[in-house]
């Protein structure tokens, strides 16, 4: 997520060539968030996800299988998640062909992220503190869930 100039927490993600923050989400099959964690963009996806799992162990205690994308491959990540919450890790890889194809289950997190994109304040990170960014994401999810139910 790109930062504005007022944001203090910044990092540079060389892979995506973006200066800003990363939002790490753990959602269930309905897209309801159980853990949200925000880091600077220079933190790797695996390190950010492990920090999220460690911080929200209680909320994720009943998770048996964690479905992740290709950025989370690797045995160290798999064993760390298993040690932290006892869950197995399943990687949903993209289609190696360069054609669009909906991959089963992978769209669940993408749907949750698109719900957040509908909140105008979250298009860019304009918060000075990471805690404020986290609060805005949580408020956006509360608003989304109140509309749904």
Percent of the chain predicted with pLDDT > 70:
77
Does pLDDT of 5 surpass 60? no
Please report where in the chains the tokens 């869950």 appear, as a residue.
Answer: 87
Q: Is the pTM for the entire model greater than 0.85?
A: no
149 lies in some domain: no
For 87-130, what is each residue's pLDDT tens digit?
999 887 766 556 666 666 777 777 888 888 888 777 766 677 77
1 lies in some domain: no
5 lies in some domain: no
Residue 24 neighbours by CB under 8 Å, 6+ apart? 35, 36, 37, 38, 39, 45, 48, 49, 51, 52
72 lies in some domain: yes
For residue 6, the model assigns a pLDDT of 52
132 lies in some domain: yes
Distance CA 130, CA 82 (A): 28
Section 38-67 average pLDDT: 91
For residue 95, the model assigns a pLDDT of 62
Domain with 140 in it: 11-144
Residue 42 neighbours by CB under 8 Å, 6+ apart? 11, 12, 13
Domains identified in the chain, total number: 1
20 lies in some domain: yes
Q: Are 15 and 5 in contact (CB under 8 A)?
A: no
Report the DSSP beta bridge partners of residue 90: 67
Q: Which CATH number do you get for residue 80?
A: 3.30.420.10
Distance CA 42, CA 19 (A): 8
3 lies in some domain: no
């Amino acid at each position: 997520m790109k930062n504005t100039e007022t944001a203090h927490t910044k990092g540079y993600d060389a892979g995506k060539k973006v200066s800003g923050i990363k939002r790490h989400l753990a959602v269930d099959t309905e897209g309801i968030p159980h853990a949200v964690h925000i880091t600077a963009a220079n933190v790797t996806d695996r390190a950010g996800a492990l920090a999220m799992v460690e911080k929200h162990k209680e909320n994720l205690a009943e998770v048996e299988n964690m479905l992740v994308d290709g950025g989370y491959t690797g045995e160290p990540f798999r064993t760390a998640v298993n040690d932290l919450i006892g869950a197995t890790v399943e990687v949903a890889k993209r289609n190696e062909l360069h054609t669009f194809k909906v991959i089963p289950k992978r769209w669940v997190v993408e749907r949750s992220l698109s719900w957040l994109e509908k909140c105008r304040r979250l298009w860019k990170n304009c918060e000075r503190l990471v805690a404020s960014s986290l609060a805005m994401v949580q408020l956006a999810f509360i608003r989304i869930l109140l509309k749904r139910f």
